[in-house]
């Protein structure tokens, strides 16, 4: 179903180290990850500097930070997209995620949710006092997303800080925000979009921008 089968590889293990895709042969390509258990763990890495899309057939647990490397030229901007048919569970130890993360429903209608704090594939429930205590104890850290989430539902489970910690009568500064989850929609998504399945795609792949200035009198 892909426009160029040579650009997609299949991984069948229950663990997928992102560092293994941060190599020249994987630049501009796609990976389909699937396992009989229906659960795959993505091990994060820092210094990611390639353009890659990961498709996951099943639930995904993200274990470890995922961070782009710095770049000087826009054409060298890294790009990572993780597209899951199921749920995405972000481990409690994760503090930074760069890239775009998509959770879609499965054929049976389940899935399609991103949990911002989990213990493996187990999200923290809040239906009883003991579970509440576990949530507060394990999810009291900030999560910064430099990119975007796309999902049917996002469960924001980080518990650090409170409204009383924010600045009074003014907007928070980006460097000192007290939010439990922070989203920075970074320009890499436009400068260097990750490779996708181009089936039935007839466009040029280029973005058009229009700028309008006020009249000078």
3-state secondary structure 44-95: CCCCECCEEEEEEEEEEEEECCECECCCCCHHHCCEEEEEEECCEEEECCCC
Torsion of CA 129, 133, 138, 142, to 10 degrees: 90
Decide which of 214 and 208 is more confident: 214
What element of type H or E holds 113?
A: strand 113-119
pLDDT for the residue numbered 15: 96
pLDDT digits 0-9 by tens, 79-117: 999 999 999 999 999 999 999 999 999 999 999 999 999
Nearest one of 86, 96, 195, 197 to 151, comparing CA atoms = 86
Q: How confident is the model at residue 155 (pLDDT cuts 50, 70, 90)?
A: very high
Q: Do 60 and 86 contact (CB within 8 A), yes or no?
A: yes
DSSP-assigned beta bridge partners for residue 113: 153
């Amino acid at each position: 179903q892909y426009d160029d089968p040579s650009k997609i590889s299949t991984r069948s293990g229950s663990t997928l180290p992102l560092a293994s895709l941060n190599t020249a042969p994987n630049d501009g390509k796609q990976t389909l990850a699937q396992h009989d258990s229906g659960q795959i763990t993505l091990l994060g890495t820092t210094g990611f500097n390639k353009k890659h899309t990961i498709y996951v057939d099943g639930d995904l647990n993200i274990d470890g930070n995922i961070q782009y490397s710095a770049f000087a030229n826009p054409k060298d901007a890294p790009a990572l997209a993780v597209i899951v048919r199921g749920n995405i569970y972000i481990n409690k130890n994760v503090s930074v995620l760069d890239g775009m993360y998509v959770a879609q429903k499965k054929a049976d209608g389940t899935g399609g949710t991103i949990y911002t704090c989990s213990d493996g594939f187990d999200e923290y429930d809040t239906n009883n006092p003991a579970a509440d205590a576990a949530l507060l104890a394990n999810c009291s850290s900030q999560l910064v997303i430099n990119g975007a989430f796309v999902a049917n539902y996002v469960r924001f489970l980080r518990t650090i800080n409170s409204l009383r910690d924010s600045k009074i009568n003014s907007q928070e500064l980006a460097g000192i925000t007290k939010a439990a989850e922070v989203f920075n929609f970074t320009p890499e998504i436009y400068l260097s979009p990750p490779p996708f399945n181009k089936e039935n795609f007839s466009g040029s792949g280029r973005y058009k921008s229009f700028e309008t200035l006020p009249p000078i009198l």
